[in-house]
A and B are shown apart, each in its own frame.
Chain A
Amino acid sequence: EAQVTQNPRYLITVTGKKLTVTCSQNMNHEYMSWYRQDPGLGLRQIYYSMNVEVTDKGDVPEGYKVSRKEKRNFPLILESPSPNQTSLYFCASRKDREQNSPLHFGNGTRLTVT
């Protein structure tokens, strides 16, 4: 089944403790992206990647890192999480860099930072 898989689904951590949220897609998609979703603010892009070893900042990149060493994986790293990073996170992929290709989303990771 074609899908985007994120892990974990739920994560509670404390301020300053490094964490990684994994994202993997099995559709051989070139483009991958991370979003956070907060009430009333919609989906905001954190980082995106057009292809392997190519990553760029989105709208809200502060406090986050990403890497794209393989085509299928795009982990999101929080080196020193803070409470304002408490949010619902989605990884997404699409076939190519063309904006008329639909995005395929994972089922989300709900992160709480205390």
Chain B
Amino acid sequence: SQKIEQNSEALNIQEGKTATLTCNYTNYSPAYLQWYRQDPGRGPVFLLLIRENEKEKRKERLKVTFDTTLKQSLFHITASQPADSATYLCALAGYSSASKIIFGSGTRLSIRP
């Protein structure tokens, strides 16, 4: 069955360092991969989308890579700040509008001052 795995352990990073989160998937050939941020008590908020034919996407301090051979996406936050502390979810989607969007269970990131 289709499966997404994200770091189950929380990630603790010193402020100013680069945080790297991993999203691995199996039994799926996604057309798109999305990353969302979720704060406690709030709904997920969309951050970035990368297509299967794109290797890398950037937005301000965020960078996402997508390796369809390894079936993996890496999500980087450079110059991390305490305000970046949150849970980050990855999600996969196919081309068809009828295909499911599958979410990972998320990685909790804590940035310590």
Contacts and interface: CB of A to CB of B under 8 A. Distances in A.
B51 interface: yes
Contact of A4 (B43, B99, B104): B43
Contacts of A45: 100-101
Contacts, number: 61
Interface stretch (A11-19, A61-69, A99-107): A99-107
A92 B91 CA distance: 14
Which interface class (under 10, 10 to 19, 20 to 34, 35 or more) fits A? 20 to 34
Nearest to A101: B49
Given A41-B105, A99-B31, A99-B95, A104 B46 contact: yes
Interface in B4-40: 4, 8, 31-32, 34, 36
B43 A90 contact: yes
Contact of A108 (B41, B89, B99, B100): B41
B64 interface: no
B100 A106 contact: no
A98 B97 contact: yes
A107 B42 contact: yes
Interface in B48-104: 49, 51, 89, 91, 93-97, 99-104
B46 A43 contact: no
A9 to B, nearest CB: 9
B34 A102 contact: yes
A102 to B, nearest CB: 4
Contacts of B4: 42
Interface string A10-50: 00000000000000000000000001000111111100001
A39 B101 CA distance: 18
Contact of A100 (B89, B93, B102): B93
Nearest to B42: A107
5 contacts: A50-B97, A100-B93, A102-B46, A102-B49, A104-B46
